[in-house]
Each structure stands twice: as structure tokens, then as C-alpha cells.
Amino acid sequence: MKNRLLFFIISLSLALPAFSAEVTGLRFRQAPDKLRVVFDVSAEVTYDVLVLENPPRVAIDLKTSTPEASFTRILEQADFSDTSLRGVRSAVYGTHDYRMVLDLRQSMTPEVFTLKPAGPYGHRLVVDLTNEVSTQPPQIPWTPSGAPRDVIIAVDAGHGGDDPGTLGIGKKTEKEIVLSIAKRLQRHINALPGYQAVMIRTGDYYIALRKRIEMARALPADVFVSVHADAAPSKAANGITIYTLSERGAVSEETRRLADLENNSDLIGGVSEIDLRQQEDILARVLLDMSIDANRVRSNQLGAAVVSEVGKVAKLRPRPLLEAPFVVLKSPDVPSILVETGYLTNASEYRKLADGNYQERLAKAITSGIQDFIEQSPPPGTQVALAQAGS
Ligand SMILES: [Zn+2]
């Protein structure tokens, strides 16, 4: 009798699936060339991916997984209009697995990867769907060969998508405020004859830090400006700081903490390890045959020019030009700065940074600084260089 009971218990436990992960949440963000769909999962999951046609769809089988009670409702209520998705269906698959089918409006190439917990997020399964005929953003207008070209300024709004950046004391997060400042910066730069600004991120989606460098180098940009906003434990901290790259050498404890925080973006915003390695390799190859020192000198000149203009319209930190090991500044051949436009943890500075008029003044001052830097030694072959030679 005892043996029979034991046998019964064993066969029951074999028949019952031991679920290892629950799917709990869903987010999606449309970028110009790709749609990112993120599923929150309670633990690391293994999965199979199937790409199917007629109609185009991607099926993902999550092994020994199950949806959390509320997840089916989350799926039903998700509004996929304005995205490349028609919808997501799901069903229990076999005895142990959970299948999600992403119905697409057109054929797309999926890249699926998992992310470990970072920032406010737990384990995640990420599905990046890329358009098959992908327009490689950003693009600059074609100029006839031989004609003088525009000076190209890459404008990078920090963070985006799953990475909100600094939360601060108000409703607006860093990613929203800096995108708004970056758009104003773009307008002011484009208003200068012979200048063209190109936005690295145009909406609320995440781009890997190294990818931002690659996008600027591909233009190719003459200047790279990354726009951010600060946070500090002390509510009194305020003022603007402009950073250039420091890879070696002593930086203060505070600066190192800030750089670690900003560099953490890739973990929170979500970059697959394969992408990260590939981008690291590309940059390592470029670094081999580049004069890093020359670019460092140029970056410091750019930083100094921007500091002097911004100081006319806004409050600077006591030491407004600093070096820090920010990944996004690691371009070996494009003069690069990162502007921390102020502290979102300071009440009066938050109010200013969230205000359109202040954003406008700041953007205009940064533009003047960039213009001063370019005019000191205009890139050869540009309209600005030609106008200077003629005058
Ligand atoms: Zn930031």
C-alpha cells in the first residue's frame, strides 16, 4: 500500500509540469528601423524562435513557462496601432511550454535575447524586429560631388526606451527632457547656414551607447554632442557640467559614480551581449590606427567653447569642464562632449529644465559654442571653410 502511494506521488510529479518562469509584463517601442517588444519574466527563460510566412509572424516558445494570471489580459488590451505588429496571440504549447505568436504587418527579421535584472527591471526576454528593407537612420541629404558640404553635428539625446535616465523630483524623466532639448538644439543648428544637425535618437526608444558612436561616425559627423541631465543625493546640487572623455588618470569619486551610472544605460535600456561584443570589436579596430590624443585636444576645445557660451545664459558648476570615462564619448575621431544640463534632483533647476523657454536658451547657447569651435578651424571641404577662405 505504502509503495503504491509512493508510485502514485512520483507519477503525479512527473506528469505535472514544473514551470520555471512566469511571463508577467509587456512593453513595446517603435524606432525608425525596428520594433522592440519586451516581455518581463520571473526568471531566466530558454526559448525557440520560429519565423513563419503567409501571413508573416514570429512564434516564440518559452520552455517550461506559463503566463501570470493577469498577463493574458495585458496582451488583450495592448494597443499595437502605429507599430509593425498586428497583435500578439498566446497559448499553452505541449505540456510545459508557452507559445506567443507575434503577428506582423510585413516580413521582419527577429533578434531574440534575454537580459538579466538591471535598474528597475527583472529578467527580460527581448524581441527586436527589424524591417527587411531597413532604412539606415540617420541619413544626411545628398550633396553633388565636388560641392562644399555642410558641417555635420550629431545630436544625441541620452537614454530612451526602457532606460528613463534620472527620475528627479518632477513628473518628467531625463529621457524626455533631454530629447526636448536635443530637438531644439537640432533646430538652432539647422538654422545656421552650412550646418546640418542629425539626431541620433528621434523618439522614445533605446540605442546602445557604442551604436550611437557608430551612427555618428557613419555620417560622418564633425562633432558629437550628447545631452543629459544630472542627479545627486544632495537636493542643493545644481549647475551645468560639460564632460570630455577620460580613459586613464584620476577622476573624482563623484565623477566616477556619474560615469558608472550613465554607462549602466546599456543594461537598463537593453543591449544583447552579441551586439555589445560586435560594437566593441569595431571600435577596438578603429582605435588601433587613430590618433586619440588629437581627438582629445579637439574635444577639450569644443567643451571649452560650449562652456563659455552656456555660462552666459545658465549657471555652471564651479568646475564646469571635466573629464570622465563615459562610453558614449569614446569615438576615436569625432570631437565629442557630454552636456549634463543641470540637476533634476534640484527643485528650481528641475523647473527650469522642464520649461520650454529655458530649454530654448540653453539649446541656443550650446549651438553658439559649437559654432565658435567649428569656426576656429573649419573642417576642410565644408561651406564654412570655403566662406572663411573667401573672406
Ligand atoms: Zn544621463
Query: How does pLDDT run across 210-239, given as a tens digit for each residue?
Result: 999 999 999 999 999 999 999 998 999 999
Cα gap 33→343, rounded to integer Å: 32
**Ligand 1 mean position to 370 CA, how many Å?**
20
190 and 41 in a single domain? The answer is no
Q: What is the mean pLDDT of residues 177-194?
A: 98
Q: Average per-residue pLDDT in the chain? A: 88
Which residue range is the domain that position 326 belongs to?
Answer: 151-390
Q: How confident is the model at residue 208 (pLDDT cuts 50, 70, 90)?
A: very high
**Ligand 1 mean position to 225 CA, how many Å?**
13
**Ligand 1 mean position to 255 CA, how many Å?**
13
pLDDT of the residue at 224: 98
pLDDT of the residue at 12: 47
pLDDT of the residue at 254: 82
Q: What pTM was estimated for this model as a whole? A: 0.84
Residue 3 or residue 302, greater confidence: 302
Q: How confident is the model at residue 151 (pLDDT cuts 50, 70, 90)?
A: very high
**Ligand 1 mean position to 263 CA, how many Å?**
9
**Ligand 1 mean position to 60 CA, how many Å?**
34
Residue 36 or residue 288, greater confidence: 36
Residue 290 or residue 194, greater confidence: 194
**Ligand 1 mean position to 338 CA, how many Å?**
9
**Ligand 1 mean position to 182 CA, how many Å?**
13
Cα gap 244→323, rounded to integer Å: 5
Cα gap 91→108, rounded to integer Å: 22
187 and 328 in a single domain? The answer is yes
DSSP per residue, 1-32? -HHHHHHHHHHHHHHS----EEEEEEEEEE-S
131, 163, 184 — which closes off a domain? 131
What is the domain count for the chain? 2
Asked whether residue 8 is assigned to any structural domain, the reply reads no
Q: How confident is the model at residue 311 (pLDDT cuts 50, 70, 90)?
A: very high
101, 131, 161 — which closes off a domain? 131
**Ligand 1 mean position to 262 CA, how many Å?**
5
**Ligand 1 mean position to 68 CA, how many Å?**
33
**Ligand 1 mean position to 215 CA, how many Å?**
19
Cα gap 242→321, rounded to integer Å: 5
**Ligand 1 mean position to 162 CA, how many Å?**
13
**Ligand 1 mean position to 90 CA, how many Å?**
37
**Ligand 1 mean position to 230 CA, how many Å?**
7
Quick one: cell of 320? 564646469
Q: How confident is the model at residue 2 (pLDDT cuts 50, 70, 90)?
A: low
Asked whether residue 9 is assigned to any structural domain, the reply reads no
48 and 196 in a single domain? The answer is no
**pLDDT for residue 157 is more than 60:** yes
Q: How confident is the model at residue 271 (pLDDT cuts 50, 70, 90)?
A: confident
**pLDDT for residue 118 is more than 80:** yes
103 and 250 in a single domain? The answer is no
**Ligand 1 mean position to 366 CA, how many Å?**
17
Q: How confident is the model at residue 264 (pLDDT cuts 50, 70, 90)?
A: confident
Q: Do residues 267 and 368 touch, judged by C-beta distance below 8 A?
A: no
252 and 379 in a single domain? The answer is yes
Name which of 229, 196, 225 is nearest 213 in CA terms.
225
114 and 258 in a single domain? The answer is no
**Ligand 1 mean position to 17 CA, how many Å?**
44
**Ligand 1 mean position to 354 CA, how many Å?**
15
Tens of pLDDT, residues 44-69: 999 999 999 999 999 999 998 999 98
pLDDT of the residue at 13: 46
Q: Do residues 205 and 30 touch, judged by C-beta distance below 8 A?
A: yes
328 and 368 in a single domain? The answer is yes
SS3 178: helix
Q: What is the mean pLDDT of residues 268-277?
A: 81
pLDDT of the residue at 288: 61
**Ligand 1 mean position to 380 CA, how many Å?**
33
**Ligand 1 mean position to 275 CA, how many Å?**
21
Name which of 232, 201, 267 is nearest 343 in CA terms.
232
Asked whether residue 4 is assigned to any structural domain, the reply reads no
**Ligand 1 mean position to 325 CA, how many Å?**
13
End-to-end CA distance of the chain: 105
71, 97, 131 — which closes off a domain? 131
Quick one: cell of 278? 560586435
194 and 277 in a single domain? The answer is yes
Quick one: cell of 318? 564651479
Q: How confident is the model at residue 286 (pLDDT cuts 50, 70, 90)?
A: low
Percentage of residues in the chain with pLDDT exceeding 70? 88
Alpha carbon 1 to its chain centroid, in Å, reads 64
